[in-house]
Amino acid sequence: MAAVTVPTARIKICGLSTDDTLDAALALGVDWIGLVHFPRSPRHVDFARAAGLSRRAKGRAERVVLLVDPDDALLAAAVEAVDPDLIQLHGRENPERVAAIRTRTGRPVMKALGLAAPSDLAPLAAYAAVADRLLLDAKAPADAALPGGNGRRFDWTILADRDLPAGTMLSGGLDPANVAEALARTRLGAVDVSSGVESAPGLKDPDRIAAFVAAVRGAR
């Protein structure tokens, strides 16, 4: 019997903000690079900086701009400056707003959903109907200043036996040491990392990026 080939999971490095760390990610052949436009984040880049990074990555990886509850003016500015291949929504956007953003911008949209318990999967079907991709992250703690997983992982077992939409991406507390286990447990085909490849908040580490990519590509 012929051996079954398991596709390597696709990789997104989010929160890139410098030429050298972007170049390190691109040289490793990552699939997406993420540019965060959210002033309260340590990974925030203004649109002038994001535009330069986006141009540098064009044709080498898909470019993602991360926005949090953007209004129409911010959306227009983001599309004009960054020319994103994908818009990542990381706020409290409801399914109707996600659909409206996709229509208004003409760009694919990925919606992040915070998970802590099985009940948090209830809205998944409604978002899957309007978004091009879903990103499953850890739910932000009640007292968190920032949306998203804040470097925390959720209990991956809540995804067991779930029929998740194609293209669903896993995030939340991933790093070079645990990403292979995460892939084995969830069987998802795409992963997103930010703080797990940093030496300090907002400071990406090329060596940790390389270790993460190697761990993903070595996972089976």
**Residue from 111, 59, 100, 110 nearest 83 by CA:** 59
Which candidate in 120, 137, 163, 175 is catalytic?
137
What element of type H or E holds 21? helix 19-27
Which candidate in 14, 23, 132, 175 is catalytic?
14
14 is catalytic: yes
Residue 121 structure tokens: 């999967």
Dihedral angle, C-alpha 21, 25, 26, 28, nearest 10 °:
140
137 is catalytic: yes
Strands (E), 47-187: 62-67, 86-89, 109-115, 133-138, 169-170
Residue 172 CB-half CA count within 13 A: 26
Residue 140 structure tokens: 């932000």
**Residue from 151, 87, 153, 158 nearest 124 by CA:** 158
Q: How would you class 46 by CB atoms within 10 Å of its CB: exposed for 0-12, middle for 13-18, buried for 19 or more? A: exposed
**Catalytic positions, please?**
14, 137
